[in-house]
Structure 1
């Protein structure tokens, strides 16, 4: 298996350009990620409570990480509900087969 071809992509965050190497098939995801980060950083900057690019970046990263963890927890709960539902369906089908026999 060959390594995916990596090409630099230029993204802009808070008015600064960054060149980031990533596999060609992930360019759109990288651009979308940079756009999300740029929007979040602008929201924090425009809120006026946080000053300095580094602090704005850290606050944006913390907010995004928090949202990611919440989504992972929600996904784990949904996965458990799906497993529980599958068990109930399997049990109901098993009982139906036994009554048909």
Structure 2
């Protein structure tokens, strides 16, 4: 039986204490790193303002990646990139732009 350990992860500069099974620790840390990287990419683009919106867009992008991978038997990277760009352009239309 696996034991649970407390772990503190950092996302968007904030620390979050979590419980995690020892054998799942590496996967959790990878997921945290991936999410934080997505958030930072979106934040650095400067098109979306507000941490809440940035996190939502990051979550949508990751969800889209997952669903695309699940639904496509043979993965096509160019199609994947095209779909992400389409989502980003639609989000750009819907979300207010950052004022310079």
TM, length-normalised to structure 1? 0.68
Choose between structure 1 and 2: higher helix proportion. 1
- Matched residue, 1:55: 53
How many corresponding residue pairs? 74
Shift in Å at residue 49 of structure 1? Answer: 0.9
Pick one of 13, 20, 23 that aligns with 1:22.
Answer: 20
Runs of 4+ that moved beyond 3 A = none
Higher RCO structure, 1 or 2 (CA under 8 Å, sep 6+): 2
Larger Rg: 1
Gaps of 5+ in 2: 75-100
Between the aligned partners of 2:52 and 2:10, the Cα distance in structure 1 is 16
Give the alignment's Cα RMSD to 1 decimal.
Answer: 1.2
TM-score by length of 2: 0.69
Q: State which of 42, 47, 64 in structure 1 corresponds to 2:62.
A: 64
